[in-house]
Amino acid sequence: MAYGLLWLLRPYIWRYWTATWQYGLQQLNLPAIIKIDMFSNAVMQVPLLTADMDAAGPSRMLLLVTFLISGAAFAASFIRQGKWLPIAYLARGLGVFQMFVCLYFWVWPDHFVYSAMTHLRYVFLIQLSVIYILPVILTLIFYPLDLSLLKKAGATALMLVYLCIAVPWLMLLHAIVLQHGTLLFMPFAYFILGGPFLIMLNVALYSYCASWEGTLTESRRSR
């Protein structure tokens, strides 16, 4: 049922994605041209939304400043870490990650083969994959919960609508990072603002929907 609705609404969803993507690029004054590529594999061909934009490589000064800030964040994560452990672990991991990225661009600046257009293309592919696989995941981990069929359908619709709305806005966030932060922050955008961000978003939506009252609780209250 969910896949049938996605198929029927596909022209309208694509119209929203392209219109929002174009509007966002214009408002942000990003020198980019909307482009629709085709992703082909042995099973099917899927159109992918991207933009023909350029992102500059990092300068030596930017590498040095970013490395020092990342190192400071890593060192600060050990100061009174017991009072802010979750944030301390996050700052420590991000600091080490970004320092290795800076070292890579410092030593092998010409070996980074990815472009901004390729990055945006794969960001869109990740989001599209999450939307397509979400009904299957919900069938396995959400539908067995003690909820009415109407609530299960409503939760599925809520998550799908939320993800469909977020697609162009998340891509615009990545475009801003690449435009103003150069290619230095492409790995950060891909690994932190890509798949992990979508996972956290889906976990938050799943937790909200799973907190709804089940049929057994409602039947007990009605007695």
pLDDT, one tens digit per residue, over 161-170 is 999 999 999 9
Residue 213 structure tokens: 């009252």
Same domain as 195, residue 136: yes
Same domain as 217, residue 193: yes
Sequence-distant (≥ 6) Cβ neighbours of residue 76 within 8 angstroms = 91
Q: How far apart are CA 83 and CA 89, in angstroms?
A: 12
Same domain as 195, residue 85: no
Q: Are 189 and 119 in contact (CB under 8 A)?
A: yes
Boundary (domain end) residue, out of 45, 79, 110: 110
Residue type, 145: L
Boundary (domain end) residue, out of 94, 110, 126: 110
Average pLDDT over residues 100-118: 89
Same domain as 74, residue 27: no
Residue 147 structure tokens: 């909820």
Q: What are phi and psi of 180, to 5 degrees?
A: -100, -20
pTM of the model: 0.84
Same domain as 66, residue 51: no
Same domain as 169, residue 64: no
Whether the predicted pLDDT of 217 surpasses 70: no
With cut-offs at 50, 70 and 90, classify the pLDDT of residue 96.
very high
Same domain as 96, residue 39: no
Give the dihedral sign, CA 180/181/185/188: negative
Same domain as 192, residue 103: no
Same domain as 49, residue 90: no
Dihedral through CA 13, CA 18, CA 20, CA 26, nearest 10? 180
What pLDDT is recorded for position 192?
84
Domain count, the chain: 2
Domain residues for the domain of 140 are 2-55+115-222
Same domain as 199, residue 146: yes
Whether the predicted pLDDT of 84 surpasses 70: yes
Same domain as 50, residue 80: no
Same domain as 101, residue 144: no
With cut-offs at 50, 70 and 90, classify the pLDDT of residue 105.
very high
With cut-offs at 50, 70 and 90, classify the pLDDT of residue 68.
very high
